[in-house]
Amino acid sequence: MAEELGLRERKKRETRQRIADVAMGLFMLRGFDQTTVADIAEAADVSVNTVFNYFKTKEDLFFDRQDAAVQSLGRVVASRREGESVVDALRRDFYEALDERDWRYGIVNGADDFFEMVVESPSLRARMREMGELRKEYLAQVLAEETDADPDDPTPRVVAALVVALTHAISMEYLQRLRAGESHAAILPAVRTAVEQGFELLRSGIGDYPA
């Protein structure tokens, strides 16, 4: 029974990923607003109902990894090494993402195409703003739990806002230069410098929080 359930869950994950991959291919080809859920269902060889079983909205298809994106900063903080500050943990994770060419900070080849579609669609812009707020809320919740903060203590919310603003600023700097025609490889040294300077500025404000 356990093997059967495991196989069923794996097939569900595979179906979900296939639908998301097909959807992104169509979005890249036709544009987000010009692609319908029916188009995606037909291309993925599933019914429209099946698409909605996995994704509540078309925006969910575009941001198919939104849960991971919203929770990523909080998870880094919650799983940081013993004695490691928020600044050190997040800076280390940022560098690891760069080295691994991971998408979680938006600094990867092709990010400009993704961002261009967001810019062109009002509903995607709205969803991205919403995800930014959820990202702050989730990180603030983790910080409050990690420090056993009083509900009236604004520190976790303030720190979360600073962290999200910093990571967003670095990612946007990368995107702007990428869209201006610079190559990914040419921008990376400047990104690393921005990470170092940005997190040092953050440290000057919050120190080794949470000690």
Residue 159 · residue 94 · CB < 8 Å: no
Q: How does pLDDT run across 144-177, given as a tens digit for each residue?
A: 999 999 989 999 999 999 999 999 999 999 999 9
In the block, tokens 């037909």 appear at 42
- The domains of the chain, with CATH numbers, are 2-56 (1.10.10.60), 66-206 (1.10.357.10)
Query: According to the model, what pLDDT value does residue 4 have?
Result: 62
DSSP for the chain reads -HHHHHHHHHHHHHHHHHHHHHHHHHHHHH-TTT--HHHHHHHHTS-HHHHHHH-SSHHHHHTTTHHHHHHHHHHHHHTPPTT--HHHHHHHHHHHHHHHT-STTS-STTHHHHHHHHHH-HHHHHHHHHHHHHHHHHHHHHHHHHHT--TT--HHHHHHHHHHHHHHHHHHHHHHHHHTT--HHHHHHHHHHHHHHHHHHHHHHHTT---
Q: What's the rounded mean pLDDT across residues 83-109?
A: 93
| % of the chain at pLDDT higher than 70 | 97
Look at 1 and 181; give whichever has higher pLDDT: 181
Q: How does pLDDT run across 40-69, given as a tens digit for each residue?
A: 999 999 999 999 999 999 999 999 999 999
Mean pLDDT over all residues of the chain? Answer: 93
Query: According to the model, what pLDDT value does residue 210 have?
Result: 85
Residue 2 clears pLDDT 60, i.e. is over it: no
Query: According to the model, what pLDDT value does residue 3 have?
Result: 62
Residue 88 clears pLDDT 90, i.e. is over it: yes
Task: Report the phi/psi class of residue 207: left, alpha or beta, with left for phi > 0 and alpha for psi in -120 to 50.
Answer: left
